[in-house]
Amino acid sequence: MTLFDRALARIPGGVNSPVRAFGSVGGQPFFAARAEGPAVWDTEGRRYLDLVQSWGASILGHADPDVVEAVSRAARAGTSYGIPTEAEVRLAEEVCARVPSVDKLRLVSSGTEATMSAVRLARGFTGRDMILKFAGCYHGHSDALLASAGSGVATLGLPGSAGVPAEAVAGTVVVAYNDEAGLDEAFARHGPALAAVIVEGVAANMGLVPPAEGFLAGLRRRCTEAGALLIMDEVITGFRFGDDGAQGRYGIDPDLSCFGKVLGGGLPLAAFGGRAEIMDQLAPLGPVYQAGTLSGNPLATAAGLTVLSRLDADAYATLEASATTLADGLWHAINSVGFIAQVPQVGPLVGLFFSYRPVVDYATAQSADAKLYARFFHEMLDRGVYLAPSPFEAMFPSLAHSPAEIDEIVAAAADAAEAVAAAG
């Protein structure tokens, strides 16, 4: 019996998060045994250059020695107290110092918890119930945010999962990303009832889709005029795009921001924060309840503080340079053999769509050739490069990926593309 067979017998689908099952690309997933720097090894000893990096959490690379030492030191003093610690305060101070829009911060354990809590806080602060999200933007798996698009331009959401009651998303408006006309219609119809709009500053859960010029600024203006809060989901982009994430890159001042992944240094930690007058509505100061047993635990805060201490201007410049080399190399490798691929890059993030037209929203992302991506994925895996096992994810080159290793990935892509082309 294989390890996957054993997993299937006791874990639904054999995995503890759906995309890991390789359902989008076919085949069976490998099981990781260890990881170091830019690479991960499976249980059979095979090495892969890893462009997933725990879905963006491991910005320094896997098992960074400084992070391992910080977590080990913290663990020796106790893994969890359920009591305030100095490290929680230091991490909150560090985030507030780096992100001008954040006066106060609440630590939680996952991105889903951060976005769910931010939406609840927005509703409590405004006294309104409705929220607006964008098709293809993923904000975790809380009921209200698992809404899919309805039939109109700016319709109320439909449940995006079995088990989500229709009434849970009845107050969620879904609009296409980058759709100015859809936004105008949504605000005209629902503006006075909107508590908040939640958005990925750079959409990185439908592949990689940058905001159109002026899109985020227009969204900020509409929220201000309607009295709705703007929630920037920086779970992926926070502390990867620079100290102040996508909001700094595009000059947007959100009311609330959600962070995760990089902030936890590879451990379960996330946060939401914003203006003091809004954050002070949280219990124990205000009437909006939120709590968590492991929130701000000492292992995660130790990892997060260590990672942030390493992220300076030089580190961000190195990340972006690596991403540029990777994006350019992938584009030439794939398009030179007759395929048409879009390889978007925004700062340190890289995407890949097998599509004849630029991808600007979820609909155009869905129109890309997913079967071709799956074939390319397996050819890359055979050559020792691990891409995301889904066409709707981004690539995360880390600080541990050297120029030589980026070149190795590009060379593998050239071989893989030729193999796919030769197979017809």
273's enclosing H/E stretch is: strand 270-274
Residue closest to 114 by CA, chosen among 220, 219, 204, 234? 234
**What is the C-alpha to C-alpha distance for residues 311 and 242, in angstroms, rounded to an integer?**
8
Residue 31's Cβ-count burial label (10 Å; 0-12, 13-18, 19+) is middle
Name the amino acid, one letter, at 185. Answer: E
The CB density around residue 352, as the number of other CB atoms within 10 Å, is 27
CA distance 281 to 284: 8
Listed residue (343, 321, 346) closest to 387, CA to CA:
343
Distance CA 118, CA 99 (A): 17
User: Could you say which of 50, 104, 133, 138 is catalytic?
Assistant: 138
DSSP assignment of 306-369? HHHHH--HHHHHHHHHHHHHHHHHHHHHHHTTT---B--EETTEE--B--SS---SHHHHHTS-
Choosing from 261, 316, 373, 386, which is the catalytic residue? 261
Query: DSSP label at 44?
Result: T
- The catalytically annotated residue of 233, 243, 244, 255 is 233
225: Cβ–Cβ under 8 A, 6 or more apart, which residues? 187, 191
Active site residue 316: no
Whether the Cβ atoms of residue 392 and residue 359 lie closer than 8 Å to each other: no
Identify the three-state secondary structure at position 172: strand
Q: Are 97 and 273 in contact (CB under 8 A)?
A: no
> Positive or negative, the Cα torsion across 128, 296, 101, 52?
negative
* Residue (of 296, 115, 264, 263) closest to 197 by Cα position: 115
Q: Are 403 and 323 in contact (CB under 8 A)?
A: no
* Structure token pair of residue 288: 């909006």
Query: Can 261 be counted among the known catalytic residues?
Result: yes
Concerning whether 233 is annotated as a catalytic residue, the answer is yes
Measured distance CA(49)–CA(55) in Å, rounded = 14
Give the Cα separation of 382 and 130 in Å (integer).
Answer: 47
Q: Active-site residues: which are they? A: 138, 233, 261
